[in-house]
Amino acid sequence: MYTDKVMDHFSNPRNVGQIENPNVVVKVGDPGCGDAILIFLKIDSGVIVDIKYKVYGCGAAIATTSMASTMVKGRTLEEALEITDESVAAALGGLPETKQHCSNLAATAIRAAVTRYMHPPEEKVAGQADPH
Q: Which of 55, 102, 110, 113 is catalytic?
A: 102
Q: For residue 40, what are the β-bridge partners?
A: 25, 52
Q: Which of 16, 25, 33, 36 is catalytic?
A: 33
Phi, psi at 39, each rounded to 5°: -110, 135
Annotation says 33 is catalytic? yes
Q: Where are the alpha helices (DSSP H) in 4-72?
A: 4-11, 59-72
Annotation says 58 is catalytic? no
Question: Cα separation of 69 and 35, whole Å?
Answer: 17
C-beta of residue 74 within 8 angstroms of C-beta of residue 48? yes
- State CA 106 to chain mean position distance: 4
Query: Which amino acids are annotated catalytic?
Result: 33, 102
